[in-house]
């Protein structure tokens, strides 16, 4: 008696996972935890403990983020489209809330954090993901109609401005620049006309110029970059110390924990952690970090190109652009190619909000990769 064929199971199965993405999802935060512990050595000297509270919190966020990333990878990404607009609304309210009601001590006149017990929450980190989801939804919903200036320029550009401008006002110009770059990339892939897109950078430059004119520390960063004089400003000093760290590392570095410039760098565990990597692991270490982010970019673009669903394709483009563009900006700052921005190195720098948001993005990207692989096998 012939047996009846069983119907094929629908939906996603767990595993398999995309091996390259999965490896990057584990390696980057794992390496980041090691480097944060090393960079925090000046802060823990004399405390009699190998790790301080900030390092332990970073590890907790990393483990939590990895679990959430694997969970998101198992949920069909098309479900994320349903929460895109609510997530954007919540992110927008948080951005306004942190501007008016931040309870964290202001740093460089910036209001970017909420303090919740022993933790801090930076809404702009999660606004990045909310913006990506919203723009992906817009691109899928309107399809070819985004070529109309009323939808592509006013709709897409207006949505982008609504999220970016509150970040500029905090002020956090570095984060605003990365979000604007991500938005432009997504709108381009969605099909917005180039002449319409050209209007958006003009507005972004105007907002940036106003912010620089208002805030003295931003002017100081630009001045330090132009003059290349470490004595001009504290920012110039930071950039000079980062270059010394990179040079001191040579090809193979001084060894984990053996770097000395972290005692001089103002933020060795955050903005300048790439310099710490360069001193302790040399050109080999910084080259490996660069290769890992290049691999993320290439694999992410491959996934976007193989995804038939417009929402999934735009989601992949937005995530890979956000993570890699911010990484390259951070590395560009440390190597002196661009002015100091205050941006962290994704997955690696100290910062629970940044690490958690980055891993959530990786979970969604893993999901898009799995779904596109299933579609190709059908």
Residue-wise pLDDT tens digits, 70-108: 999 988 888 999 999 999 999 999 999 988 887 777 665
Scored b (16 or more CB within 10 A) or e, 334-344 reads bbeeebbbbbb
What pTM did the predictor assign?
A: 0.90
Tokens 């319409």 sit on residue: 196
Q: What angle do CA 213, 325, 29 make, to 5 degrees?
A: 115
**CA 125/CA 131 separation, integer angstroms:** 10
H or E stretch at 41 = helix 41-44
Contacts of 199 (CB under 8 A, 6+ apart): 153, 157
Calculate mean pLDDT across residues 226-242: 67
CB neighbours (10 Å) of residue 365? 30
Tell me the domain boundaries of the chain: 19-44+52-372
CA 69 from chain center: how many Å?
A: 15
The alpha-helical segments, DSSP class H, found in 307-341 are 310-334
Average pLDDT taken over every residue of the chain: 87
Residue-wise pLDDT tens digits, 178-220: 999 999 999 999 999 999 998 888 888 888 788 777 877 777 7
Q: What is the pLDDT of residue 61?
A: 94
Judged against a pLDDT cut of 60, whether residue 324 lies above it is answered with: yes
Q: What is the pLDDT of residue 229?
A: 60
Q: 32 is written with which tokens?
A: 């980041």
Question: Can you give the C-alpha Rg of the chain in angstroms?
Answer: 21
Judged against a pLDDT cut of 50, whether residue 5 lies above it is answered with: no
Q: 59 is written with which tokens?
A: 């590890």
Q: Which of 62, 143, 70, 130 is nearest to 94 (CA)?
A: 130
Q: What is the pLDDT of residue 377?
A: 55
CB neighbours (10 Å) of residue 376? 10
**Under a CB-based contact definition with an 8 Å cutoff, are residues 330 and 277 in contact?**
no
DSSP conformation class of 261: G
Q: What is the pLDDT of residue 24?
A: 96
Q: Which long-range contacts (CB under 8 A, 24 or more apart) does 206-213 make?
A: 207/164, 207/165, 207/168, 207/176, 208/168, 208/173, 208/176, 208/177, 211/168, 211/171, 211/173, 212/173
**CA 160/CA 207 separation, integer angstroms:** 13
Judged against a pLDDT cut of 50, whether residue 120 lies above it is answered with: yes
């Amino acid at each position: 008696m012939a047996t009846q064929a069983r119907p094929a199971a629908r939906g996603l199965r767990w595993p398999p996972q995309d091996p390259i993405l999965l490896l990057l999802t584990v390696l980057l935060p794992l390496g980041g935890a090691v480097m944060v512990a090393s960079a925090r050595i000046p802060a823990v000297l004399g405390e009699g403990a190998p790790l301080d509270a900030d390092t332990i919190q970073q590890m907790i966020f990393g483990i939590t983020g990895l679990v959430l990333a694997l969970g998101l990878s198992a949920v069909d990404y098309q479900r994320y489209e349903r929460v895109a607009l609510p997530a954007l609304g919540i992110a927008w309210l948080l951005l306004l809330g942190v501007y008016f009601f931040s309870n964290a001590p202001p740093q460089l006149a910036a209001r970017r954090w909420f303090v919740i017990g022993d933790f801090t929450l930076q809404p702009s980190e999660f606004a990045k993901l909310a913006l990506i989801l919203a723009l992906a939804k817009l691109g899928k919903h309107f399809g070819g109609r985004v070529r109309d200036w009323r939808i592509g320029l006013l709709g897409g550009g207006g949505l982008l401005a609504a999220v970016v401008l509150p970040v500029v006002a905090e002020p956090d110009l570095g984060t605003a620049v990365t979000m604007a770059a991500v938005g432009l990339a997504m709108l381009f892939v969605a099909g917005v006309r180039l002449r319409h897109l050209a209007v958006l950078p003009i507005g972004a430059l105007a907002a940036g110029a106003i912010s620089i004119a208002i805030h003295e520390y931003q002017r100081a960063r630009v001045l330090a970059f132009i003059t290349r004089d470490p004595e001009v400003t504290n920012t110039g000093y930071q950039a000079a110390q980062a270059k010394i760290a990179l040079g001191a590392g040579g090809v193979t570095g001084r060894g984990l924990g053996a770097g000395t410039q972290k005692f001089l760098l103002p933020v060795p565990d955050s903005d300048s952690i790439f310099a710490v990597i360069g001193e302790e692991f040399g050109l080999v270490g910084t080259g490996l970090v660069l290769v890992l982010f290049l691999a993320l970019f290439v694999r992410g673009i491959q996934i976007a190109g193989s995804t038939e669903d417009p929402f999934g394709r735009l989601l992949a483009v937005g995530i890979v652009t956000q993570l890699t563009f911010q990484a390259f900006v951070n590395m560009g700052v440390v190597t002196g190619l661009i002015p100091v921005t205050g941006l962290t190195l994704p997955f690696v720098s100290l910062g629970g909000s940044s690490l958690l948001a980055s891993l959530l993005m990786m979970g969604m990207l893993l999901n898009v990769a799995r779904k596109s692989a299933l579609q190709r096998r059908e």
